[in-house]
Amino acid sequence: MKLLSMKEMNMKDKFFSEYMQLIRNHVIPYQWEALNDRIEGAEPSYCMQNFKVASGKIQGKFMGMVFQDSDAYKWLEAVGYCLMWNPDKELEEIADGAIDDICAAQQPDGYLNTYYIIGGLDKRFTNLKDHHELYCLGHMIEAAVVYYQATGKRKFMDTAIRYVDCVNSIFGAEAGKLHGYPGHEVIEMALVRLYEVTKDEKHLRLAKYFIDERGKQPLYFESETIINQNNFHWKDSYFKFQYYQAGREVRQQEKAEGHAVRAVYLYSGMAAVANETGDESLIRACERLWDNITNKQMYITGAIGASRYGESFTFDYDLPNDTIYAETCAAVGLIFFARRMFELTKDSKYMNVLERVLFNGAISGMSLDGTKFFYVNPLEVVPEASEKDEQKRHVKVERQKWFGCACCPPNIARLLSSIGSYAYTETDECFFMNLYIGGDITTTIHGQNVELHVETNYPWDGAVKISFNQKEEAEFCYAIRIPDWCRKYVIALNGEEIQTDLVKGYVYLHRKWKNGDTITCDFNMEIILNQANPKVREDIGKAAISRGPLIYCLEEADNGNNLHRIYIKKDTKFTEQFEKDLLKGIVTLTCDGEKLVDSNWNEEVLYQIYQDPIFEKKTLKWIPYYSWANRNPGEMLVWVRTKV
Amino acid sequence: MKLLSMKEMNMKDKFFSEYMQLIRNHVIPYQWEALNDRIEGAEPSYCMQNFKVASGKIQGKFMGMVFQDSDAYKWLEAVGYCLMWNPDKELEEIADGAIDDICAAQQPDGYLNTYYIIGGLDKRFTNLKDHHELYCLGHMIEAAVVYYQATGKRKFMDTAIRYVDCVNSIFGAEAGKLHGYPGHEVIEMALVRLYEVTKDEKHLRLAKYFIDERGKQPLYFESETIINQNNFHWKDSYFKFQYYQAGREVRQQEKAEGHAVRAVYLYSGMAAVANETGDESLIRACERLWDNITNKQMYITGAIGASRYGESFTFDYDLPNDTIYAETCAAVGLIFFARRMFELTKDSKYMNVLERVLFNGAISGMSLDGTKFFYVNPLEVVPEASEKDEQKRHVKVERQKWFGCACCPPNIARLLSSIGSYAYTETDECFFMNLYIGGDITTTIHGQNVELHVETNYPWDGAVKISFNQKEEAEFCYAIRIPDWCRKYVIALNGEEIQTDLVKGYVYLHRKWKNGDTITCDFNMEIILNQANPKVREDIGKAAISRGPLIYCLEEADNGNNLHRIYIKKDTKFTEQFEKDLLKGIVTLTCDGEKLVDSNWNEEVLYQIYQDPIFEKKTLKWIPYYSWANRNPGEMLVWVRTKV
């Protein structure tokens, strides 16, 4: 299965095109300034400076975090995607210059990590657990592959390959090699991407090695800690080496544990390798971990990672809404994992989650003007608690400007600048429409030219129209995902309704497609009251509202404060309205609710004999979750109390 | 006003006498072994060893925490109280020996702190903020006063007074003296206790100085940090110097902030000083801080301190039940504060809170067999969360054995071994019955001998009988507190019901009391459904059950797990039963409830379209909160959902 390249698409999507433009016009230029320490008032990044020091172009010390190199790579990956759908000579020249600076630092044996080049190569690969060395290489590979795909230029990719060769000569299961693996995963999936381009088995084997070796006894990280006489930071934690998903072999892992971003990056790599090798035990492990996350550890927004401590998963059904971590990067990582699982299975259940994450817990990470970012994406916020309670201080009320060490902003950037590739994938026989994103698509399926036009106002409207502009007929299967949130839908071919069974959640339309053929989909977007499994303690007696793929929330700006005191009834009637001037244009929902008042309470009394609570009627206004915190800071709430 | 001495009482209380015996027969001997490093498998305390090293009796280094000395003092204070009501030659000899070891370490100028005597006297009083030097002296004074009162022996008190003289010569508002004050308060109230015995104005003045100086600009702790080039641990916290209640002058403090134990120790000292000086602005500050705590920051169990971070208060109405700190020591400290406020005002509102704390959040700190202790007293526990979620790891499911650094166990010990003194206080004209504790009391009021016998089965029964055994008549006022939880009561004098207005919550019976007079009180103990102010987010839609002074809870041992899914109705009927063999004899409550079931849920589904929840009927059994966690570890819950 192949993701459509962004080169094959001319995105004309009302919803995503604006995000893509933001990434291209604001995020990427801003980050370039940041990487070069030219943002006034911001902590310097030192990222590009480190490369210049490492190559001897300038004198200096290594500065910044040990994984500072990766910021340049993430930026280059986003640039690569942008260049695919929007060739831009000026940007490409800047990127080429950055690549020159990076490549100049490469050592004769291929090694390329500025922290150790500057600080002492004798220490390289001695702290895999914490020093993100292989993590940086992973991001380098991902960027290099995308940049090659975008521009056809091999310099960066060849540099990455030389570094991979270097790593290959040092790491492996063979005697005499280091039996190590990364503390922060990403290289596994990166190597599969490299293999997809190079078809060099070495690259796949190295990815497979890192996965197979992980967690084997004796534990590499344990030995490394002893040799280095390092403190093991997580020794008193519950997860211990599972913080790194390295407490046991990956095929023995039953539940998603530890650092959430690392976890989903690893699982993505596992699924990517399994996809190439067909390794059944690895596929089972991926399915088990997927099911554990999505059936037991995922917020309704698709967010993952319940605890700030270790930015980690906690345990099944533990989903606090207010002390939550829910890192933007983890949401993006879950999208990577979903994509790979879909490739393995062609099952819409993965794309259903991908859509849920994308439209809620992922894009919530960026402000609507592209200038500010959330690391933490809560489902419940009270500003005073975020200010005064240390357990909630990480839960910010406002997105932060992107300074210094920054993982989430570039992750959002690379996701959104390549979003079309998640929407459309193809096999030799079949074209999959996974997400409904408007634009023109020009591709080839089984040697046949295909030209499509997709028109939609998704996610505000469930109507999607696909028109074929075929010079010649093309025979293939057009597969349409029926979203899990949709209970009523109509698929019509040239105006005629199609009745067909779903196969793993997709409608398959096989045909010789000819010019003028149209498919219309109408996904009925009803407003749904959702409830959580009663095992989720935090959500008992509450409901969350959704419409189509969007989860909704209440914000103080529309509903006043004390949102916790709001109740809705099961049979509440909603009205919906597209407000084009609100939050860049959103469908808002309005309904009747009730609010617990304290007019019968003396402010000076904390406890009294139980009396029937007094409620007042209140009109509630809901906005899509992703759009919260784009006005004055205030309370926000997703799960609202229900009157039984 | 004077607290009755434990010497004046022969406690025969069914509820408290057993606790007192536990303290005397188990806790005190066990702690003595701990102080002398003779507990197998326990981390050594080094406490008594440090004194011997400091006096040169043995060679060695200082070991243990910087405030290790205070453990010996807390132990001696508890011993002192026990010797009052139970003279015990053997225990007194051991205590005399300990006092000899302590006093032998005193320096020529009176100084006595083993950490600096052993480690370097040149550094003494250079880190008041964090090194607990004056805190240790505070506990020394408290122990020395009690030991003197118990035994009449002055050696320990004279030693303490010499150390106070030394401190007096170094600290003060005068030019040339250090303008410092303790990082951890306690010396303020201790000095007032000393003054109560010595009537030496110096001692009161020093207490007043520490209170008046606290928080003055320029901030002493800030200067000290700069001089020492120390890291200021709380610099990134919300409370900063208010962690120590030192961010502004005490009279400017509006809300209880920072470390909860330190806070209530300080406030107790403030009230104690105000009591002696009549300082109006200080009294107002005490009242303000008291009101803030009890009206806005106190759990229904009387526990205080919402956050583990800094073991601190957070903000008004922020009372999470599951991530709570609620340290036992803070509960004990609130009792100290209540006692001093009552002395200032003779208002029952302080004793109402004292009773609430005592019977719930304080004694919950000790197991029913006196061998294990809670530092943290939660209102809601799920064992899996305590194990796997770092934010709840401090919330233990089982009380811990008392090892190493230990503040809460000796605090409970000194409280319970002197509990009679809180129950009964007197002025020249009036005898106050604040708590209902059985026993014989022999005292003098305004020169007249008074002999009383109090009989009650409190807290299981609201009947209290007071009999006078007067050889001669005595004219005074007998004041009886009417508990705030009681809506119906009868007070009868010699069988005749008394109708009288309450004065600040007390019934005052003025009379020439003669032999054979009896007062009977009948406080109707109905079972009450309590509700919290809707400003307390965590308790919205919930109720807590109480009977008399006792808050009740559900435990897994009686009700199975998933307690969060239990609902009760407002008009639930309860039955009560004294179960003499359960948890050392308790009144249990039984009622009908309902439990949200998940039979309509696929375990593998996290979210679904809202359906009417399904409930099953369930008989609920409630036990007093203080008695939880004395059986198999499991869930516990105080605030239970209500069906509106």
CB A512 within 8 A of CB A473: yes
**Sequence-separated (6 or more) residues with CB below 8 Å from residue A504:** A345, A346, A347, A348, A349
Residues 290-319 of A with CB under 8 A from B: 291, 294-296, 298, 300, 306-310, 314-315, 318
Helices (H), B516-623: 556-559
Length of chain B equals 644
For residue A125, give Cα distances in angstroms to A130, A146, A228, A375, A538.
Answer: 10, 26, 12, 29, 43
Assign B407 a pLDDT band (cuts: 50, 70, 90). confident
Tell me the C-alpha distance between A464 and A424, whole Å: 14
The ipTM is 0.94
Query: Looking at the domain assignment, is residue B22 inside a domain?
Result: no
Query: Looking at the domain assignment, is residue A591 inside a domain?
Result: yes
Q: What is the mean pLDDT of residues B587-613?
A: 93
Q: Which residues of A touch B536 (CB under 8 A)?
A: 606
Query: Looking at the domain assignment, is residue A13 inside a domain?
Result: no
Place of tokens 């500057």: A118
> Do residues B259 and B407 both lie within one domain?
yes
Q: What is the pLDDT of residue A232?
A: 92
Whole-number percent of chain B with pLDDT over 70: 99
Distance in Å, alpha carbon of B384 to nearest chain A alpha carbon:
8
Interface touch B601/A390, C-beta < 8 Å = no
Assign B314 a pLDDT band (cuts: 50, 70, 90). very high
How many C-beta atoms lie closer than 10 Å to residue B616's C-beta? Answer: 11
Q: Over the stretch B276-289, which tens digit does the pLDDT of each residue have?
A: 999 999 999 999 99
Output DSSP code: residue A7.
Answer: G
Interface touch B596/A389, C-beta < 8 Å = no
Tell me the C-alpha distance between A142 and B610, whole Å: 42
User: Is the preceding peptide bond at A624 cis, omega within 30 degrees of 0?
Assistant: no
Assign B433 a pLDDT band (cuts: 50, 70, 90). very high
For residue B522, give Cα distances in angstroms to A154, A480, B352, B441.
Answer: 92, 76, 17, 21
Tell me the C-alpha distance between A493 and A498, whole Å: 7
Q: What is the pLDDT of residue B404?
A: 56
Q: What is the pLDDT of residue A600?
A: 84
For residue A19, give Cα distances in angstroms to A13, A33, A364.
Answer: 10, 20, 12
Q: Which residues of B touch A613 (CB under 8 A)?
A: 531, 534, 541, 644
- Which two tokens mark B559? 């009700």
Which residue among A308, A540, A564 sits closest to B537, beta carbon to beta carbon? A564
> Do residues B571 and B482 both lie within one domain?
no
A388: containing domain:
255-399
Q: What is the pLDDT of residue A408?
A: 86
Question: Which residue out of A311, A327, A426, A555 is catalytically annotated?
Answer: A311
Interface touch A531/B610, C-beta < 8 Å = yes
Say if A604 is an interface residue toward chain B (CB within 8 Å).
Answer: yes
> Do residues A484 and A390 both lie within one domain?
no
> Do residues A265 and A331 both lie within one domain?
yes
Query: Looking at the domain assignment, is residue B264 inside a domain?
Result: yes
Assign B43 a pLDDT band (cuts: 50, 70, 90). confident
Q: What is the pLDDT of residue A230?
A: 83
* Total structural domains within chain B: 4
Give just the sign of the alpha carbon dihedral A230, A236, A242, A248. Answer: positive
> Do residues B195 and B168 both lie within one domain?
yes
**Domain stop point among B246, B267, B293:** B246
Interface touch A530/B608, C-beta < 8 Å = yes
Q: Which residues of A touch B605 (CB under 8 A)?
A: 295, 533
- Which two tokens mark A345? 């299975």
- Which two tokens mark A293? 């996350």
Query: Looking at the domain assignment, is residue A70 inside a domain?
Result: no
> Do residues A518 and A545 both lie within one domain?
no
Query: Looking at the domain assignment, is residue A411 inside a domain?
Result: no
> Do residues B418 and B312 both lie within one domain?
yes
> Do residues A359 and A389 both lie within one domain?
yes
> Do residues B631 and B489 both lie within one domain?
no
> Do residues A390 and A308 both lie within one domain?
yes
Tell me the C-alpha distance between A444 and A450, whole Å: 5
Output DSSP code: residue B556.
Answer: H
**Sequence-separated (6 or more) residues with CB below 8 Å from residue B179:** B171, B172, B173, B213, B216, B220
Give me the CATH number covering residue A369. Answer: 1.50.10.20
Assign B405 a pLDDT band (cuts: 50, 70, 90). low
Query: Looking at the domain assignment, is residue B26 inside a domain?
Result: no
Strand partners, A506: A481, A503
Query: Looking at the domain assignment, is residue A317 inside a domain?
Result: yes
CB A345 within 8 A of CB A504: yes
Question: Within its chain, how far is the Cα of A130 from the centroid?
Answer: 23
Q: What is the pLDDT of residue A401?
A: 83
CB B351 within 8 A of CB B479: no
Interface touch A597/B391, C-beta < 8 Å = no
- Residue B54: exposed, middle, or buried by beta-carbon count in 10 A (0-12, 13-18, 19+)? buried
Residues 364-403 of B with CB under 8 A from A: 382, 384-385, 387-391, 393
Output DSSP code: residue B484.
Answer: T
Confirm whether A311 is a catalytic residue: yes
- Which two tokens mark A15? 């919803």
Question: Within its chain, how far is the Cα of A60 from the centroid?
Answer: 36
Q: Catalytic site residues of B?
A: 311, 407
**Domain stop point among A353, A382, A399:** A399
Distance in Å, alpha carbon of A246 to nearest chain B alpha carbon:
17
Tell me the C-alpha distance between A352 and A342, whole Å: 10
> Do residues A356 and A478 both lie within one domain?
no
B518: nearest Cα among B495, B484, B489: B495
Among B24-33, B134-143, B260-269, the minimum mean pLDDT is found in B24-33
**Domain stop point among B220, B246, B272:** B246
**Sequence-separated (6 or more) residues with CB below 8 Å from residue A120:** none
Say if A612 is an interface residue toward chain B (CB within 8 Å).
Answer: yes
Tell me the C-alpha distance between B412 and B394, whole Å: 19
**Cα Rg, chain B, nearest whole Å:** 25
Q: Over the stretch B496-507, which tens digit does the pLDDT of each residue have?
A: 999 999 999 999
Interface touch B601/A298, C-beta < 8 Å = no
Residue B549 has pLDDT above 80, yes or no: yes
> Do residues B235 and B350 both lie within one domain?
no
Q: Which residues of B touch A321 (CB under 8 A)?
A: none
List chain A residues with pLDDT less than 50: none
Residues 479-508 of A with CB under 8 A from B: none
Q: What is the mean pLDDT of residues B286-299?
A: 98
**Sequence-separated (6 or more) residues with CB below 8 Å from residue B54:** B105, B114, B117, B118
Query: Using H for helix, E for strand and C for coil, what is the string for B45-98?
Result: CCHHHHHHHHCCCCCCCCCCCCCCHHHHHHHHHHHHHHHHHCCCHHHHHHHHHH
Tell me the C-alpha distance between A375 and A366, whole Å: 9
